[in-house]
């Protein structure tokens, strides 16, 4: 595929930025600075780095709990993402969401949703609202292949196709829903066939190749924005790390992981750029990214924890003391 130096540099920077950020998060988790759950996106960076920049700033974006890369690609400042990982008030969710619930309304980023397939009905709601308002916004929703076995997927796909909603359904198929292989959880592993059964366009994409992801996303957005209905993209990818920091990873072999690492999206992009005679200044990018990460960690370290008197804020509705009724 053709490749410009500008695109190659942008994609390389975004993928390195996501990977180095997450590698630092893993270190901080081991040091006890980040707590709770932590699901890393390492190996899957090509999808967020190539698909999300194709969205318009006013489009809506919803994701799963493996969403650090999506938030960074959407423009959520690394400082506020890291502060959220630390549970600090300065975080993008004010320290209340942590790793699994990044959120930034100002950038049209609506999670970070912890329930498998839980974001899909929400995404359909956003798309329906835009359709009723008569604008040409598109809602993009990322989810894993495990979500395709959930009722929410089928309900959303049915209504999205029935109502021709401007919805882009991006399935990041990394072959394992937590520790369960796709073939052990779904009788049919042809995910696009399931989407097509609802009379929508469905495309399988090499999710380890940024050029392929970008091209497919651009096509899908034009289709949805043109009022032609929803599109399902199956983005075939692989996570190089365990499902979460608590995962003993007994369900796949080291040989399988090593084989997939031969398709590392960063190395694939660099090799393709070199074959075309393009020179990418990786050392300079790495230096800038590491400096940004150091700054984000310092910002998070200096952040403040929510005071005890604020803990019920946004949780309980204020009530009239005399009647007990909501204010």
The end-to-end CA distance of the chain, in Å, is 60
The Cα 226–Cα 22 span in angstroms is: 36
Sequence-ordered strand ranges (E) for 75-211 = 109-112, 139-144, 167-173, 176-177, 180-181, 201-206
Average pLDDT over the chain, rounded to an integer: 95
Let me know if residue 102 belongs to a domain.
no
Contacts of 149 by beta carbon, 8 Å cutoff, 6+ apart: 177, 185, 186
Residue 79: predicted pLDDT = 98
58, part of any domain: yes
290 assigned to some structural domain = no
Indicate whether 174 belongs to any domain: yes
Q: Please tell me what DSSP assigns to residue 202.
A: E
Handedness of CA 23, 28, 31, 35 (dihedral sign): negative
How confident is residue 313, by pLDDT bands cut at 50, 70 and 90? confident
Q: What pLDDT was estimated at residue 312?
A: 83
Contact 137, 166 (CB under 8 A): yes
Domains held by the chain: number: 1
Q: In this structure, is residue 69 part of a structural domain?
A: no
What is the tens place of the pLDDT at every residue in 142-194? 999 999 999 999 999 999 999 999 999 999 999 999 999 999 999 999 999 99
Judged against a pLDDT cut of 60, whether residue 250 lies above it is answered with yes
Q: What is the pLDDT of residues 12-63, one digit of tens each?
A: 999 999 999 999 999 999 999 999 999 999 999 999 999 999 999 999 999 9
CA distance 86 to 98: 7
Contacts 24+ apart (CB under 8 A), 251-260: 251/176, 251/179, 251/180, 251/181, 252/176, 252/181, 260/43
CA distances from 21 to 15, 77, 79, 258, 271 (A): 10, 12, 11, 22, 23
Residue 299 in this model has a pLDDT that exceeds 60: yes
Where helices occur in 86-135 by DSSP H, the ranges are 119-133
pLDDT at residue 322 in the model: 59
pLDDT at 324 over 60: no
Q: Which two tokens stand for residue 156?
A: 């959303």
What single DSSP character describes residue 255? Answer: H
Please report whether residue 98 resides in a domain: no
Confidence of residue 259 (pLDDT cuts 50, 70, 90): very high
d(CA 51, CA 4): 17
CATH code, domain with 197? 3.40.50.970
| Boundaries of domain holding 171 | 5-64+112-282
pLDDT at 292: 98
The answer to whether residue 173 is domain-embedded is: yes
Rounded to whole angstroms, how far apart are CA atoms 26 and 62? 24
CA atoms of 159 and 123, how far apart (whole Å): 11
- Using an 8 Å Cβ cutoff, are 127 and 210 in contact? no
pLDDT at 311: 81
Structure tokens at 300: 């998070």
pLDDT at 325 over 60: no
Query: pTM above 0.75?
Result: yes
Point out the least confidently predicted range of 71-75, 206-210, 255-259, 321-325: 321-325
Structure tokens at 311: 């803990």
Tokens for 147? 């979500």
Strands 180-181, 176-177: parallel, antiparallel or unpaired by DSSP?
Answer: antiparallel
CA distances from 273 to 12, 15, 126, 171, 235 (A): 10, 15, 38, 27, 22
Q: Which of 260, 167, 136, 286 is nearest to 206 (CA)?
A: 260
What's the mean pLDDT in 235-248?
Answer: 96
Evaluate whether residue 90 is within a structural domain: no
pLDDT confidence tier of residue 326, bands split at 50, 70 and 90: low
């Amino acid at each position: 595929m053709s490749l410009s130096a500008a695109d190659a540099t942008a994609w390389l920077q975004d993928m390195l930025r996501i990977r180095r950020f997450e590698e630092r998060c893993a270190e901080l988790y081991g040091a006890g600075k980040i707590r709770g759950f932590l699901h890393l996106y390492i190996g899957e960076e090509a999808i967020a780095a190539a698909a999300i920049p194709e969205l318009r700033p006013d489009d809506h974006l919803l994701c799963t709990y493996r969403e650090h890369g999506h938030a960074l690609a959407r423009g959520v400042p690394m400082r506020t993402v890291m502060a959220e990982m630390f549970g600090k008030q300065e975080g993008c969710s004010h320290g209340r969401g942590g790793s699994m619930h990044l959120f930034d309304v100002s950038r049209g980023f609506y999670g970070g949703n912890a329930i498998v397939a839980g974001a899909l009905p929400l995404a359909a709601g956003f798309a329906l609202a835009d359709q009723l308002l008569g604008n040409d916004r598109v809602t993009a929703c990322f989810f894993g292949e495990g979500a395709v076995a959930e009722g929410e997927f089928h309900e959303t796909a049915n209504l999205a196709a029935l109502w021709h909603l401007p919805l882009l359904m991006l399935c990041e198929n990394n072959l394992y829903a937590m520790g369960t292989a796709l073939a052990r959880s779904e009788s049919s592993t042809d995910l696009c066939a399931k989407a097509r059964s609802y009379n929508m366009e469905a495309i399988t994409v090499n999710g380890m190749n940024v050029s392929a992801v970008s091209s497919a996303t651009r096509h899908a957005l034009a289709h949805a924005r043109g009022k032609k209905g929803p599109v399902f993209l199956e983005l075939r990818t692989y996570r190089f790390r365990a499902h979460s920091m608590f995962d003993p990873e007994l369900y796949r072999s080291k040989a399988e992981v090593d084989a997939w690492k031969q398709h590392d999206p960063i190395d694939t992009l660099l090799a393709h750029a070199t074959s075309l005679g393009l020179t990418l200044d990786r050392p300079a990018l790495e230096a800038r990214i590491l400096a940004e990460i150091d700054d984000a960690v310092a910002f998070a370290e200096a952040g403040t924890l929510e005071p005890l008197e604020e803990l019920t804020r946004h949780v309980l509705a204020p009530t009239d003391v005399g009647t007990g009724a909501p204010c």
